[in-house]
Amino acid sequence: MRMSAAVLALSCAAALGACAVNFEDHAPPAPAIDAQGLVDARQGGMAMSVGALGAVSAGYDKKAAPRSYRLPAEGLAKFARSLSALFDGRTAGVPGTEASPAIWSDATGFAARTAQYRDATGALLAAIDAGDDAGIAAALASTKAACKACHDTYRTQ
């Protein structure tokens, strides 16, 4: 006996439906996070940023070869790119954090501050690679301004 096109179409649709249900049944669980570990990573990275920024500033001030202070600048740029992951909403309220709840209640504003910082540290690294003294000076100033702009609103101390 030959199946009609309509019956065939119907059974295909049913099979696809079964497939979709199957996918949902086997959806992977949301990955667990280590909230304390993320808070330690961001506090440690922030603390080390003081030294990294100081090393870049000192190198620039004494007119050292830009490549001699490229590594700390690269660290700042990469750390800047990690901030949205480190400030996962599930880390709110971990004991010892100085992260303001505004980071999550005003996610758009915080994203603007992380983008400002990412752009400033990216420009700093690019200017170092180009050996562009004026560019390094400008990007150092905008990087420091980006630290302060974020802390003013999103850090509690």
CA distance 35 to 128: 35
**How many residues are present in the chain?**
157
CA distance 104 to 124: 28
Task: Mark 24-63 with x for binding to ligand HEC (rule: CB under 6 A) and - for no binding.
Answer: ---------------x--xx--xx-xx--x----------
123 binds ligand HEC (CB under 6 A): no
Which residue lies nearer to ligand HEC by CB, 136 or 146?
146
Q: For ligand HEC, how many residues bind (rule: CB under 6 A)?
A: 22
CA distance 109 to 11: 50
Residue 83, exposed/middle/buried by CB under 10 A (0-12, 13-18, 19+)?
buried
Stretch that binds ligand HEC, among 29-37, 59-67, 125-133, 141-149 (CB under 6 A): 141-149
For residue 33, what are its two tokens? 């996070």
CA distance 112 to 92: 19
Which residue lies nearer to ligand HEC by CB, 84 or 132?
84
Query: In the complex, which residues of this chain contact ligand HEC (CB under 6 A)?
Result: 39, 42-43, 46-47, 49-50, 53, 83, 97-99, 113-114, 117, 143, 146-147, 150-151, 154-155
